[in-house]
């Protein structure tokens, strides 16, 4: 694994944003800078990290880890559903076909933890239209994975829980497409959990973004990354669950817990600045889950991420 010294050396070189107007029309999300031209989008995964719908700063190598993991997973699930990926000109960049994205995210959970546990404790989990049993314990495994959709909010606003009935009532997605999307999500999650288990991990929950391209359902954005998913170390799960201890997490929940426990921040007001120690900690978690899932040692050229991306985009004829 990359050393702490290498991670700290990368801190000044992280990619906050990429400003290349000649690539096309820019849409900047929480993490990605998407440049559209015609029916293609150059999707640049920056090193930005967000939590509770706020961009907090940057994490060394984060964009590269997310992008490389997404292409790894897209290859593993291509028999389940088509994805929007066309080419990979740079470790942090995917060229994808334009899709009309659904206005909701499909969140699927194998365990009750994170925001769902917090909502369950406070009596707010009914927003999903699900009759939750009483007496559930934190980090308890469900008998079968449960879909808990959410809205997709603008930057600075919170994604909100939404029920299937409300999605259909508001005609956000047609009933036929929603059934297809949920079926695809269940199969993607099963594949993800199966592979994670073979690598000593638990894929706890994740979110999928889907849309239509050429009239067909496609999986878009990212898939099974530590930004969009929760991963625990499998060997420690049961012992920690029985003892009521926190699980060993290899994902963005580490940042959320730092914000909550160290700063009392859960999305309201101005978020605290990330310390370099926290930035390095999260980078190590992301690289660890990358190596466990792929079986590869994470190697990166490091240095100026923007210069590398620009050079590779020129080689690909995109600039």
Residues 6+ apart with CB under 8 A from 48: 16, 17, 30, 31, 55, 57, 58, 62, 63
**pLDDT digits over 60-88, tens only?**
999 999 999 999 999 999 999 999 999 99
How far apart are alpha carbons 248 and 113 in whole angstroms?
13
Residue 299 lies in a domain: no
Parallel, antiparallel, or unpaired for β 140-147 and 93-97? unpaired
- Provide, rounded to the nearest whole percent, the portion of the chain with pLDDT above 70: 98
**pLDDT digits over 98-137, tens only?**
999 999 999 999 999 999 999 999 998 999 999 999 999 9
Residue 224 has pLDDT above 60, yes or no: yes
**pLDDT digits over 229-280, tens only?**
999 999 999 999 999 999 999 999 999 999 999 999 988 899 999 999 999 9
How far apart are alpha carbons 293 and 23 in whole angstroms?
32
Residue 158: predicted pLDDT: 67
Higher-confidence residue of 125 and 197: namely: 197
Residue 131: predicted pLDDT: 93
How many other C-beta atoms are found inside a 10 Å radius of the C-beta of residue 286? 27
Structure tokens at 194: 């199966």
Domain of 149, in residue numbers: 101-243
Q: Identify the CATH number of the domain in which residue 121 sits.
A: 3.30.470.20
How far apart are alpha carbons 248 and 252 in whole angstroms?
12
Q: What single DSSP character describes residue 201?
A: E
Task: Grade residue 311 by pLDDT with cuts at 50, 70 and 90.
Answer: very high
Residue 181 lies in a domain: yes
Residue 232 lies in a domain: yes
- What residues form DSSP beta bridges with 88? none
Interior angle at CA 21, CA 16 and CA 24, nearest 5: 110
- Provide, rounded to the nearest whole percent, the portion of the chain with pLDDT above 90: 92
How far apart are alpha carbons 305 and 312 in whole angstroms?
11
Residue 319 has pLDDT above 60, yes or no: yes
> Are the beta carbons of 74 and 281 closer than 8 angstroms?
no
Task: Grade residue 157 by pLDDT with cuts at 50, 70 and 90.
Answer: low
Residue 84 lies in a domain: no
Mean pLDDT of the chain: 95
Residue 180: predicted pLDDT: 98
Residue 53: predicted pLDDT: 84
How far apart are alpha carbons 178 and 168 in whole angstroms?
8
Residue 159: predicted pLDDT: 78
Residue 75 lies in a domain: no
E-only strand ranges, the chain = 25-28, 32-37, 40-45, 48-51, 54-58, 85-90, 93-97, 100-101, 104-112, 140-147, 150-151, 201-213, 216-220, 229-233
Q: How far is CA 292 from the centre of its chain?
A: 17
Residue 265: predicted pLDDT: 94
Residue 182: predicted pLDDT: 98
**How many domains are there within the chain?**
1
Residue 309 lies in a domain: no
Residue 112 lies in a domain: yes
Average pLDDT over residues 41-53: 95
Residue 202 lies in a domain: yes
């Amino acid at each position: 694994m990359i050393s702490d010294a290498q991670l700290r050396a990368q801190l000044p070189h992280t990619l906050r944003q990429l400003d290349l107007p000649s690539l096309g029309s820019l849409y900047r999300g929480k993490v990605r800078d998407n440049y559209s031209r015609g029916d293609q989008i150059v999707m640049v995964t920056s090193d930005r990290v967000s939590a509770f719908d706020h961009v907090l700063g940057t994490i060394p190598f984060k964009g590269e880890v997310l992008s490389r993991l997404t292409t790894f997973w897209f290859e593993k699930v291509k028999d389940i559903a088509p994805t929007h990926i066309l080419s990979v000109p740079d470790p942090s960049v995917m060229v994808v076909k334009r899709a009309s994205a659904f206005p909701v995210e499909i969140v699927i959970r194998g365990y009750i933890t994170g925001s769902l546990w917090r909502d369950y404790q406070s009596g707010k989990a009914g927003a999903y239209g699900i009759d939750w049993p009483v007496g559930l314990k934190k980090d308890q495994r469900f008998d079968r994975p449960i879909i808990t959709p959410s809205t997709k909010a603008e930057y600075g606003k919170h994604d909100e829980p939404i029920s299937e009935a409300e999605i259909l009532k508001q005609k956000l997605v047609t009933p036929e497409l929603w059934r297809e999307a949920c079926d695809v999500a269940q199969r993607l999650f099963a594949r993800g959990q199966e592979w994670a288990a073979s690598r000593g991990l638990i894929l706890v929950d994740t979110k999928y973004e889907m849309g239509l391209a050429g009239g067909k359902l496609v999986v878009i954005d990212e898939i099974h990354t530590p930004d969009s998913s929760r991963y625990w170390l499998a060997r420690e799960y049961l012992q920690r669950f029985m003892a009521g201890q926190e699980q060993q997490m290899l994902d963005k929940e580490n940042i959320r817990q730092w914000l909550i426990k160290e700063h009392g921040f859960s999305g309201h007001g101005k978020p605290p600045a990330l310390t370099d120690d926290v930035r390095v900690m999260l980078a190590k978690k992301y690289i660890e889950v990358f190596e466990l899932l792929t079986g590869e040692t994470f190697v990166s050229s490091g240095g100026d991420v923007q210069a590398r991306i620009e050079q590779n985009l020129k080689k690909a004829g995109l600039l």
